[in-house]
Amino acid sequence: MGWNTLDDIDLKNKRVLTRVDINVPVEDGQVTDATRIERIAPTIADIRAKGGSPVLLAHFGRPKGQYVPEMSLKPLVPALEDAFGCSVVFVERPSRDFIDAQASDAVIMVENTRFSSMEEANDPQMAQFLATLGDVFCNDAFSAAHRAHASTTGVAHLLPNCAGRLMQAELQALEAALSAPKRPVGAVVGGAKVSTKLDLLENLVKKIDVLVIGGGMANTFLAAQGADLGASLQEADLHSTARDIMAAAADAGCTVILPVDGRVAREFAAHAAHEVVTLNADTSLEADQMVLDAGDASAAQIAQTFGTLKTLIWNGPLGAFEIPPFDTATVAAARAAADLTNSGDLVTVAGGGDTVAALNQAGVAESFTYISTAGGAFLEWMEGKELPGVAALMQ
């Protein structure tokens, strides 16, 4: 693995500086979805069980180096206490003396790291100051690992370090999906635009066996082959890029699956009148027609393809899943993947952007092997980029 876990470092009587992601939605001072806080609770519990005292570091929102009262972490303390089942000491201006004055199993929450401009600048002075607050550094914020900041990488180099349980789970799932997957390995890449997923597509075609392209992106690929898709979402300036990706896939032995049919409507609205039409290079839609979802034959083909795989990576929906019935293909394919996961035949790892919402809507979130809640960091990993926060944990 190359990195330590909480089991590899002696935490007894240690102040464990723990970087977490608790960017939870808050309305009128109340946390409306505590998922992110709940996901770090096992790390907090394990540190305390091993005799350590967690000193939590986190950013909240984008205060850009200024003190912004609405972005204080203090209002989150009751939600942290609920999730951890113990009291949490909040400190606005931490010092080692203050920390040493707390009980040896105290959970201490430090104010928003981004209130200092030195955080995002990865200023060595801030890293050195943070390092005085702990004896060991634990990074449990995979979702912030694509940023080289003082609290994610700077401080990691100054203390004995390890991954927290959530980071450990993310890294193990991502390594199982892309670094050393059980083959054949496939990916679903859907969503609106090719332009935001170019690096992802270019990296995946080199590493996987089957690429299923869906959503508005698939329109661009079909149009690049000559289809006239009317008013469908597509990027006309990326036709040659789409053809390059097809060629790179062919060179690398990666089979690309494009929709063979689509659910087509004349307005972008829930329950719009629609029909299923065949899609190929010769398709010619009327000027006001839009492909808003893959059709039933495509969904069946995708499900059948999943049956040939051992590992599946999923990023992005197969259609405009927010407006029914244009969620039909996404839901059908997600359920097929979930069934194969439940029967032990497929490892399914999903993440990035709208993927979590789409899979939740399909009701399969519990069945997938792993769903990453880290948007940008998940994508950068799948793009093959080194994540500075992970690299800093490497031995």
The binder of ligand AMP chosen from 259, 353, 388, 389 (CB under 6 A): 353
Separation between Cα atoms, residue 190 and residue 196, nearest integer Å: 11
181 belongs to the binding site for ligand AMP (CB under 6 A) = no
Residues 266, 269, 273, 279, CA torsion sign: positive
Among 46, 119, 209, 354, binds ligand AMP (CB under 6 A): 354
Q: Which range, of 21-29, 37-45, 185-193, 199-207, touches ligand AMP by CB under 6 A? A: 185-193
Q: By C-alpha distance, which of 389, 392, 378, 393 is closest to 175?
A: 378
Map the footprint of ligand AMP across residues 155-174, applying CB under 6 A: none
Would you call 353 a catalytic residue per the annotation? yes
Which of 206-241 are b and which e, b meaning 16 or more Cβ less than 10 Å from the residue's Cβ?
ebbbbbbbbbbbbbbbbbbbebebbbbbbbeebbeb
Query: Among all chains, which residue has been given the structure tokens 């719009």?
Result: 272
CB 165 within 8 A of CB 6: yes
User: Rounded distance, CA 191 to CA 169, Å?
Assistant: 26
- Asked if 362 contacts 334 with a C-beta cutoff of 8 angstroms, the reply is yes
Binding mask 200-239 for ligand AMP (x = CB under 6 A): ---------------xx--x-------------x------
By CB under 6 A, the residues from 276 to 335 that bind ligand AMP are 291-292, 316-317, 319-322
248 binds ligand AMP (CB under 6 A): no
Of 193, 207, 266, 335, catalytic? 193
Annotated active-site residue 214? The verdict is: no
61, 375, 376, 384: which one is catalytic? 376
Considering the complex, state which of residue 135 and residue 354 has its C-beta at the smaller distance from ligand AMP: 354
Q: Taking the complex as a whole, how short is the minimal distance between the CB of residue 356 and ligand AMP, in angstroms?
A: 11
Residue 55 lies near ligand AMP (rule: CB under 6 A):
no
Q: Compute the residue count for the chain.
A: 395
Residue whose CB is less far from ligand AMP, 136 or 264: 264
- Which is nearest to 53 in space by CA: 93, 131, 112, 106? 106
Q: Which is nearer to ligand AMP, 246 or 329 (CB)?
A: 329
> Both tokens of residue 257?
């699956």
SS percent in the chain: helix, strand, coil, step 5: 40, 20, 40
Instruction: Check if 335 is active-site.
Output: no
Is position 193 annotated as part of the catalytic site?
yes
- Pick 134 or 215: Cβ nearer ligand AMP: 215
The count of other CB atoms within 10 Å of the CB of residue 97 is 7
Q: Which residues carry out catalysis? A: 36, 193, 353, 376
